[in-house]
Amino acid sequence: MSNIVKNDIIKNLSKKTGFSFNYSKKLINDLLSILIDDIKENNLHLKNIGTFKILQKKERIGRNPKTKEEFVINSRKSISFVVSKKILIFLNKNK
């Protein structure tokens, strides 16, 4: 399994569409900023892809496993992604 970075997506978009690298970069950056803004406002549901949800984590006590030292983990927001059933079916069909 390999990680895909934003530059890989930009290069692939540029290669497949014939757009310049800079134009492809602007498109991807604009798309990501729109998605991030929508996720911040509320949950984001992308039909046939999945749903992004914001989770509010509570403050809790954490522990360093090596030193057994306890510390407070502050409350924070986290994001989760639930994949759509169609993608799951597609992935399980093509094993």
Is residue 56 located within the same domain as residue 88?
yes
pLDDT per residue, tens digit, the chain (95 aa), is: 689 999 999 999 999 999 999 999 999 999 999 999 988 888 789 899 999 999 999 999 999 999 999 999 999 999 999 999 999 998 888 66
Where would I find the H helices in the chain? 6-17, 21-41, 85-93
Collect all residues with Cβ–Cβ distance below 8 Å to 77 and sequence separation of at least 6: 54, 55, 56, 57
The domain tally of the chain equals 2
User: What is the residue range of 50's domain?
Assistant: 42-95
Is residue 12 located within the same domain as residue 35?
yes
Is residue 58 located within the same domain as residue 14?
no
User: pTM value?
Assistant: 0.69
Is residue 25 located within the same domain as residue 52?
no
